[in-house]
Amino acid sequence: MRKLSLATALLSVALLAACNPSPAPTPEPTPTPAPTPGTQTDFGRLQTLKPGQEDTVRTKLKVNIVFVGYRQTLPGQVATARQISTQDFTQTLPKTYDAVNRIPSAYGRIEKTGNTFDFDYNYVFANQAFEDDFFKYLLSKGTEKNLTVQQRSYNCQTDPNTQNPTCATPAGNINRPITGNLEIDALETENWLADNVGRVGVKPGEHTIYFINWFDRPDFKFHSYTRATAADTDTGTVFGARGSRRLIAWGGSTRQGAAAQRVWFYDLSANPDPWTRAFDITNPDTDGDGAPDYRMPPIWEYGTRKASIGFGRKVSPDLALVARYTAINLLFTPSPIYRAALTPPQMPEEILLDTHVEQGAGAVAPATVLKPQLLQDRVSVLQPFAKFSTVIKETPLDGNLADVYKCFFPVEADDICSPDYTDFSGEALFQYGVRELREAYKTTPAKQYRLPIYLFNDSTNSQGGLLGIAYDDGETGTQSFVYSFLTPDLISAGYGFTDTTVHEAGHHLSLSHPHDGYDSEQNLSYGPSGDFFFVNTGDQSATIMSYNDLSRTFGQFNLDSQYRYLTAAYLNNTNAILELTRRAGKASGVGSVVVNADSLFTQAKAKYDALDYLGAAQLAHQGYRAVLGAAQTAGVSVQGYKWYENLNGLQAQNVAAKPRVSKTFQAQQGLVIFPEETPMQRKLRTEQ
């Protein structure tokens, strides 16, 4: 009976299961395919190229700020005069930077280069072991020398230009007289700091500012940094031996066989600084322009109660100003003065240094003051994918040429050379050059760009000391002529043509001075004057674009900047060529080339983010050349901009061209064209 019941029960369960089967497992959802990256265009799907658009290469840039010999204010404590509060830096430093072409932008429309930076700041206080090793290194490398005239001027608070500074008793308003001068090579110091960045948690090649203070240590020595053997290429004049070239800062040197050296150090316990007149702590206005000159006194003057520029000052907010307005804006991420593209949208593949030596009767032989091959070698790094060549044409500095040359340096304010033009003194020489350039281009190969250089070798002292200038076209802010000048006085002062011409050609190919520039967040142009007098320390870096005659080549900061400009220029000019191709109805025929080029630009951006700026520019150049070649093969007309053919004002002043021109370096809102040099800078150049 039990067996029958059990069987019946089991059968019931089986029948129930058959009538109500278990639900089938839920199938896995079909994954949604990831969207194909990029944007569909007439040329295919593109990730990086944007036909017809002005694009920006935006990158996150880490900036390390390392304090050596400074102490951080403890939480809840009041910052003393020589302590560091990172809050001062947080409140001062920029979050972003948008680079612009400065001189074209001064003609009324801000023209961005296509380079934007978002900053990431890393503050580091070096530990005791690092400090001990660094200052021990300085002691081992230094050599005791006599006080410079500027150091003695500090002790006496007298002008080094009016007398040999001597005083029986140091001036009463200084905190501590200078009693020694341990001279230390600036490049060796920079190299040591670069080689030891790992000890402060910094990767080699990252942008790094070292703020140094030796003064608050028992082993302190009064000291200065030097580039003691730096000499003019042509005359051999050793500018580095002059007291006026003693340094408190240095960096940005190129170094074979090592990571890119993006280190700049700034030491307020050195000198005091001659280049910003920091030895004069008594007079508010050292350049005589009527505005107080904001400059950083030596570190031992901070917190003084004496009557000096150090009264009431704290070093922490001052160093934050140096970090923003000198290191970041002028050295790390500067704006160029001219377009790196030169002839958009078809950028040149060949560049001819079209050099005119205008030889005055009785002037020194050109071969003694000009080294053409060295000039070409030094300049060519700024356009590394172009083939360079040089031609020298020597003509007498007489007749009509002599007349227009003399007009460039008028004696009277109301000059009669070009009375109907805004640029009354320079217009005659400019028009002379335009006529020659137009004639020369009649026989110039289509792919070649002529960089017109005029070297005026005068046998008389016809002007007050201008070495050179890189002119624009007066209508669009496009670069036009390079002028270099030599007179007997300039040769006696130690100058030849080669270094000046490299400097001015650097301007023509885009580069700014390291002592004047633009703050994009504040829309502010500024230079070494008034509230920004202290930025003249930007010259204390490894670049021939400075005014202190201590470098003969372009440094790491120059090369980084130029290759970034070129990367963005290749990208945006490729976008322009694609738009020309689309309008010509040729898009379908070049699609595969464009897609391949787009991949190159995507790789270029990755290298750019990784700080490989030359590698980025190289890939961008390859992509640009591929698209340009495909477009031209398809029959698309792509023409480079020819400023000398597009002038409207050669016969009468173009009223539409009203650039903002400044005769001083006073800070101004917006973009302005600053002078090549001011009387103060000329004075600095000639000081011993």
Task: Please name which of 500, 508, 438 lies closest in space to residue 472, comparing C-alpha atoms.
Answer: 508
CB atoms near residue 614 (< 10 Å): 18
- pLDDT(416) > 90: no
The confidence score (pLDDT) of residue 259 equals: 85
Q: What percent of the chain has pLDDT over 90?
A: 86
Instruction: Give the dihedral sign, CA 320/326/331/337.
Output: positive
Cβ proximity of 533 and 678 under 8 Å: no
Q: How does 109-131 read in b/e, with b if 16+ C-beta sit within 10 Å? A: ebbbbbbbbebebeebbbeeebb
Report pLDDT digits (tens) over 57-70.
999 999 999 999 99
- The model's confidence at residue 25, banded by pLDDT at 50, 70 and 90, is low
- The model's confidence at residue 161, banded by pLDDT at 50, 70 and 90, is confident
Q: Which of 162-176, 267-281, 406-420 has the weakest average pLDDT?
A: 406-420
The confidence score (pLDDT) of residue 648 equals: 76
Cβ proximity of 517 and 327 under 8 Å: no
Cβ proximity of 212 and 273 under 8 Å: no
DSSP of 77-110:
SPP-TTEE-HHHHHHHS-SEEEEE-HHHHTTTS-
- The model's confidence at residue 653, banded by pLDDT at 50, 70 and 90, is very low
Contacts of 467 (CB under 8 A, 6+ apart): 484, 485, 490, 495, 500, 503
The confidence score (pLDDT) of residue 1 equals: 40
Name which residue leads in pLDDT, 243 or 413.
243
The confidence score (pLDDT) of residue 573 equals: 98
- The model's confidence at residue 415, banded by pLDDT at 50, 70 and 90, is low
Report pLDDT digits (tens) over 535-551.
999 999 999 999 999 99
Q: Which residue shows structure tokens 């080339």?
A: 593
The confidence score (pLDDT) of residue 16 equals: 39
Helix pair 556-583, 591-609: axis angle to 10 deg: 160
Average per-residue pLDDT in the chain?
93
Task: Please name which of 86, 112, 83, 77 lies closest in space to residue 98, comparing C-alpha atoms.
Answer: 112
Q: What is the pTM of this model?
A: 0.93
Cβ proximity of 246 and 225 under 8 Å: yes
Q: What percent of the chain has pLDDT over 70?
A: 93
Distance CA 613, CA 481 (A): 28
User: Residue 307 carries which side chain, given as an amino acid letter?
Assistant: A
SS3 string of 586-622? CHHHHHHHHHHHHHHHHHHHHHHHCCCHHHHHHHHHH
